[in-house]
Structure 1
Amino acid sequence: MIPGRLIRDNDMTPKANKEVFKAQGLARDEDAKLKANKPLPLFDQAHEEDYRHVFIELRQSALTTSPYVTLMILSTLLATFGLMANSTSVVIGAMILAPLMAPIVSLAMGLARSESSLTLSSSKTLLIGPVLALLSAMVASWAVGIHHVTHEIAGRLNPTLLDLRVALVPPLAVTGIGLGWVDWQVIYGSFLLFINNLFEIAAAAAITFWVMGYTSFARAKKGFGVSAVIVGLITIPLAFSFWQMGQQSRLINHIQGVELMMESVPVRLERVSVKWGSEPLVQLNVVSGQFLSDAGYDDLAEQLNALTGVSAQYRFSPELKR
């Protein structure tokens, strides 16, 4: 080390202006020799004592313990009741209580350092936890007997590329609710969001371990490759959902507020919503001074198809103008 001015002029520096220099994190022995001729890293690098402490903690976190099982069940039940009651605060409480983050970080270290024992142990714990969560949420949905998609549930059914949330238990609880309802749309959307969030966290943690010096890129590239393949596969349905969202928005913008003359009666189209499928289903209110005939609504559907350029089914809700 080349001492700076504050160290060289130690005796001439007023005591109140002295700075503290901590050297515990400096590289030692052979590690110091290897790093001596390299440029300083942007972030503090881990050393031997850090390895030892972190690995002990992560190996313990990768185990399936009774506190882990208990917290997994309790947090899922709390999330399930919060979702059904449409209570954001209860759902947030379940997220705080959930223990899934610890085995995910252990999995990230296992992938980053190609540690097969740590990877397998954390993967086993990650498999047991979600299975318990799904069973708990499914039983709770049967016990409560509510079959209504609340706003909190609906917010976890259509993940897209814009969804960067890291919540784990709430979408998993929604999947369990979907199993209880035997509703494929609820199961698919929420479980996709859970898998997306899980691997986002694992990938971010693995990259962080690499940046902090817990592994080299040569050692981590295999784990990074596996993560990249999984994230790439998840991206496909997310990209499709994102495209669907764009199409729905475009369709709504083309129809919302449109005014037309049908059967010599001025009508205005309001409260437009779209459910995307093999053929989009468009629901909207038709506000007019008098109700149209069945033929009039058929003509309206044809005009809207021509206007939007999309072949869709329309469900009209007549509404008299006040």
Structure 2
Amino acid sequence: MRLLEVHLPADDRFDTVIRAVKAADPIDYYVQNTERKDRKLISVFIREGTGQSLIDNIQTALETCDDFRITVLPVEATAPNIEEATDQKAQKQIQATREEIYSDVSTGARLDRDFVIMVVLSTIVAAIGLNSDGIAAVIGAMVIAPLLGPVLGFSMGAALGDFKLLKRASVTLASGIGIALLCAWLLSFVLQIDLQSRELMSRAEVRLDGLALAMAAGGAAALSLTRGQASALVGVMVAAALLPPGAALGLFVGTGHWTLAMRAGLLLALNVVALVLAALIVFRLRKIRPRAWIDQKNAQRAVWINAVLSILLLTIATALIIWLDLGSEVSVG
């Protein structure tokens, strides 16, 4: 359940908004006068899955008004209890509103001091864990790695055609990966690299099952976000596809193992593309798109461009994987 609060001018548009509220069949609503006599506050209780259409209708009604504010609040519980609707119209899929999703994604895609510190710390833990074959340390590094936000931000920006969010998420993701590579490269001069470590060497094994892992992680991340149930475990899945290969790449480059570095770099690039593509597909399937028709056209164009580029890169990466596997088989034979 959600609580929508609409603060708007008390003019002719107020009646239009009230009609939109009534048409949405809310659980309850009430109107309050504010300290400013020319303003009113409408509070609307709505069921899960019905908020987006109401928000869109209200924004359409207030298209020419710059002086309004819609606030979306989650409702944990009410008394007395409210029975769930049983009719087919009310049984809509549980989904957070576009505005809620955008707020979460925009915050997670921010490049700030905390993000940089977390990337540095997680990379140090991951690099040491990989080199010492310590799986617990590698998992711990993935728990604190803040890489989920920029991945979802990039996909969300493409789904909405929001180039500002797309650019910010791209800078944050590139910065995060670049910082991880730099930290791992610096650690390679301090650590005695152990090429017998199974955890380290597994990040130089480029296989198609890694693609499946990254696709599943990206899809799960986007799905949990649209349902308003984003969890730390999903962030671990995304970090599993990015942080260990990035740390391994930095270690291999620092020690001059260029073949292993190429494999780790290919795995990292493959995982980035797979994560973004899977999240973008889920956002489109969940109908995360702009409200205005012209914006939807621009968003659709951005989605197709990103999808085509992603599929092209995945095809090239898959061909390289097959080529590397064939080359290793020949050398073994």
TM range (shorter): 0.5 to 0.7
How many Å separate the matches in 1 of 2:91 and 2:197?
46
Could you tell me whether the CA contact under 8 Å between 2:181 and 2:246 is conserved in 1?
Answer: yes
Could you tell me whether the CA contact under 8 Å between 1:82 and 1:90 is conserved in 2?
Answer: yes
Match of 2:49 in 1: 25
Shift of 1:43: 6.5
Matches within 5 A, 1:174-185: 174-185=248-259
Shift of 1:244: 4.9
Q: Structure 1 pair 79/208, CA: closer, same or farther in 2 (3 Å)? A: same
Paired residues, number: 228
- TM-score, structure 1 length as denominator? 0.63
Match of 2:209 in 1: 162
Could you tell me whether the CA contact under 8 Å between 1:210 and 1:220 is conserved in 2?
Answer: no
Matches within 5 A, 1:289-304: none
Counterpart amino acid of 1:60? T
Could you tell me whether the CA contact under 8 Å between 2:154 and 2:276 is conserved in 1?
Answer: yes
Could you tell me whether the CA contact under 8 Å between 2:188 and 2:254 is conserved in 1?
Answer: yes
Q: Deviations over 1:100-133 (max 9, x none)?
A: 1111101110011110100001111111111111
How many Å separate the matches in 1 of 2:92 and 2:196?
46
Match of 2:246 in 1: 172
Counterpart amino acid of 2:107? Q
Could you tell me whether the CA contact under 8 Å between 2:126 and 2:137 is conserved in 1?
Answer: yes
Q: Among all aligned residue pairs of Structure 1 and Structure 2, give the percentage whose two residues are the same amino acid.
A: 25
Is the aligned partner of 1:69 residue 2:143? no
Unaligned stretches of 5+ residues in structure 2? 1-22, 26-44, 61-87, 215-240, 291-295
Shift of 1:79: 0.7
The structure number with the bigger radius of gyration is 1
Counterpart amino acid of 2:175? I
Is the aligned partner of 1:44 residue 2:93? yes
Q: Structure 1 pair 30/184, CA: closer, same or farther in 2 (3 Å)? A: closer
How many Å separate the matches in 2 of 1:179 and 1:117?
33
Match of 2:266 in 1: 192
Counterpart amino acid of 1:70? I
Which structure has more RCO (C-alpha within 8 Å, separation ≥ 6)? 2
Is the aligned partner of 1:80 residue 2:130? no
How many Å separate the matches in 1 of 2:91 and 2:207?
33
Q: Structure 1 pair 186/40, CA: closer, same or farther in 2 (3 Å)? A: farther
Is the aligned partner of 1:94 residue 2:168? no
How many Å separate the matches in 2 of 1:60 and 1:29?
21
